[in-house]
């Protein structure tokens, strides 16, 4: 895998099971050349990843994943190479984390009505980083025997539209794109085929907002709850996406959406993203901002 990278990874800074250092160690063992640290709503794991990279010799691409809203649909937006200390994105991410924290009691109350009694402190004990999420709640549900897996927890209780789901504030996709651009970063749509909208319609609307890329290579076979036809059509959809990216001048990215060695989740490096994808991302950054991306945690 010496010619591969993985640009979509979560750590214990959000809802991953591996610390940033452990991610780098695993990536080194696999022979990956670069990893993108893209935790949900926080950049707190990037400093540790950069420190580990200096010892191991793997490139770290600093990033983040933000859940946005577009026409009543949820869209996950990846941001790469932005200024980690930019006030605008710092303010946005802080608000997103606050929304996560305020949502938890609402979900716990709904679970209690369903006969599932979990104390908030039990969930908070699962959190190693700044961003608390539904996977932390699912972990407690598994440990206490209410469900047998993450998939069951989300399918029966925690997923969108399920009995214990609660909304949290999300920025619009336009706000997310603009905030990343204003922080000198590259906004990229994550796993586009999980979005309930025709891909060309999506790109027609988002490109004028400043969208710079789309996640092309992604381990869709690990996406649960889809029909056989949906999985079978992925190769054709990927070919269509590549054509649309060329048409709308978008860079292609890719990653595993790694959350750790968790049953049903994609392994690190499983998207098999060629190194040239990272080079394309860096070239776009230079074209847009006039210089090679500078990485700093200050």
Q: Please check whether residue 18 lies inside any domain of the structure.
A: yes
- Look over the chain and give the mean of its residue pLDDT values, rounded to a whole number: 92
Q: Please check whether residue 205 lies inside any domain of the structure.
A: yes
Q: Please check whether residue 131 lies inside any domain of the structure.
A: no
Reference 169, options 260, 236, 96, 277; nearest CA is 96
Percent of the chain with pLDDT over 70: 98
| CATH code assigned at 216 | 3.20.20.140
pLDDT tens, position by position, 218-259: 999 999 888 999 999 999 999 999 999 999 999 999 999 999
Domain boundaries, position 68: 4-92+185-289
pLDDT at 1 over 80: no
Q: Please check whether residue 36 lies inside any domain of the structure.
A: yes
Q: Give the 3-state DSSP-derived string for 227-292, with helices as H, strands as E and coil as C.
A: CHHHHHCHHHHHHHHHHHHHHCCCEEEECCCECCCCCCCCCCCCCCEEHHHHHHHHHHHHHHHCCC
What is residue 298's predicted lDDT score, i.e. its pLDDT? 42
Cβ-contact 255, 230 below 8 angstroms? no
Question: Is this structure's pTM higher than 0.85?
Answer: yes
Question: In the chain, at which residue ranges do the beta strands (DSSP E only) sit?
Answer: 4-9, 34-37, 59-70, 73-80, 186-189, 213-217, 251-254, 273-274
Please report where in the chains the tokens 């905030």 appear, as a residue: 179
Q: Please check whether residue 230 lies inside any domain of the structure.
A: yes
Q: Please check whether residue 152 lies inside any domain of the structure.
A: no
Helix and strand counts by DSSP (H, E) for the chain = 11, 8
Q: Please check whether residue 52 lies inside any domain of the structure.
A: yes
pLDDT tens, position by position, 177-188: 999 999 999 999
pLDDT tens, position by position, 23-69: 999 999 999 999 999 999 999 999 999 999 989 989 999 999 999 99
* CA–CA separation, 76 and 180 (whole Å): 13
Number of domains in the chain: 1
**Residue 253 phi, psi (nearest 5):** -125, -175
pLDDT at 296 over 80: no
pLDDT tens, position by position, 148-166: 888 888 889 988 888 998 8
| Token pair of 112 as six digits | 């209690």
* CA–CA separation, 142 and 119 (whole Å): 14
Q: Please check whether residue 125 lies inside any domain of the structure.
A: no
What is residue 267's predicted lDDT score, i.e. its pLDDT? 96
pLDDT tens, position by position, 252-281: 999 999 999 877 789 999 999 999 999 999
């Amino acid at each position: 895998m010496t010619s591969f990278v993985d640009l979509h990874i979560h750590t214990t800074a959000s809802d991953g099971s591996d610390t940033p250092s452990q991610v780098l160690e695993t990536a080194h063992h696999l022979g990956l050349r670069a990893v993108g640290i893209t935790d949900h709503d926080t950049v707190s794991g990037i400093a540790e990843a950069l420190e580990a990279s200096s010892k191991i010799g793997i490139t770290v691409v600093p990033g983040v994943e933000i859940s946005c809203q577009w026409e009543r649909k949820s869209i996950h937006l990846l941001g790469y190479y932005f200024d980690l200390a930019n006030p605008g994105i710092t303010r946005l991410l802080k608000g997103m984390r606050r929304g996560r924290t305020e949502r938890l009691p609402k979900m716990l109350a709904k679970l209690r009505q369903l006969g599932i009694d979990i104390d908030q402190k039990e969930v908070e004990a699962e959190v190693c980083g700044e961003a608390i999420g539904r996977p932390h709640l699912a972990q407690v549900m598994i440990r206490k025997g209410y469900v047998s897996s993450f998939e069951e927890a989300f399918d029966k209780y925690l997923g969108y539209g399920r009995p214990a789901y609660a909304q949290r504030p999300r920025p619009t996709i336009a706000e997310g794109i603009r905030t990343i651009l204003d922080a000198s970063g590259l906004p990229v749509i994550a796993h586009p085929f999980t979005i309930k909208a025709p891909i060309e319609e999506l790109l027609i609307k988002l490109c004028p907002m400043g969208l710079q890329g789309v996640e092309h290579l992604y381990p869709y076979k690990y996406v649960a709850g889809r029909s056989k036809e949906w999985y079978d059509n992925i190769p054709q959809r990927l070919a269509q996406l590549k054509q649309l990216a060329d048409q709308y001048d978008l860079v292609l990215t890719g990653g595993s959406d790694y959350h750790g060695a968790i049953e049903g989740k994609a392994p690190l490096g499983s998207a098999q993203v060629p190194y040239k994808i990272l080079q394309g991302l860096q070239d776009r950054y230079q074209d847009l901002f006039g210089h090679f991306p500078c990485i700093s945690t200050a």
